[in-house]
Structure 1
């Protein structure tokens, strides 16, 4: 598995897309999605290989509360289910493992939806469209395909055009190497960006844990104050009665 993503559907079309690391922040309650507040949204979890071919799909539903947060008890094992999926219809160059309402674990059926038999919108075609658009900036592990590399064929020594042909091939080879360096540089930039986002997410999660701990201490302090106040109030009433 090279990449993971989650697409959200609205009226049959993908209305929001994110990397799985971003989706994890949504599940943790760190990042709410207010535009999905008080709705049950159909979504799909995708796994992609090194060439960005889809290898697994899990079609699931997700309920959001009034502020756009997910129920903290929601715990559908998307990755585990994807690993157990059976090959479904063809999507691009692959037949991804599929988990949906008619092809999924019984105990999670209420959290799944059925992508087939929809007259208006075909989720598979919509997924293909969004992947081609690639707003997430997903990068294949090997940016240069074989067709980009010119093959140097043998040239007869007595061929008067051999020098010119070799010069053209050398220029093509140089251009191919430049493309390789360009894609490698872009890949490094994306990796740095992902690492930066992961570090930011970790910092936010740490702040959230600190806030929760502080809130617990404050609640305990309030309970102690209430108990002390109640104790003093009872003592005062006894004194007045005596």
Structure 2
């Protein structure tokens, strides 16, 4: 994954990943509640103008504009047990230290979606039949289904953590349903002051029945580079 990041944005193929098994487990230093700042610093459409993806040009408004929201990473058993918002201060410190730490994906997904799209987002939840599927419902009744299908993890040392995930996305819309595949590769760094920084790279791949899916093949049609910063809120 380090080599892949080094070649961005010259990505010609999809990453090598293993089928998803369970949830993505993060290092203990990500446990807790954070204020996350996400800044889009680079965006590339490598196959334009022949092949593009919906929404690419609209994302230019976010270039170099920090977007801030609250996110949290909790013990897996706590995320499973608590579907509603959970006050982090009520969590015993020991439970955060010893448990497997996972993203509270419904909470994080809702906050991030609202930070970018505002009140158009109505609700975000995990599909009770598939723990790796996140469903986002919009106020116009459209839905986005995002299912993690592949994953790989690398931890070069105690303060660095890199992960790549592949997601199958389906936009359910009465006008024009749309599906694609999205890669998210993120390199996290635990800083000496206990903040966390990250470089996140997102690639969008077309899929049939998109008329140009075969032309694009395994090459991405949109690439985004975000810089993230996490500042802790509350107590671990």
Q: Shorter-chain TM-score: which interval?
A: under 0.3
How does the TM-score come out when normalised to structure 2? 0.24
- TM-score normalised by structure 1 residue count: 0.23
Q: Give the structure with the larger helix fraction.
A: 1
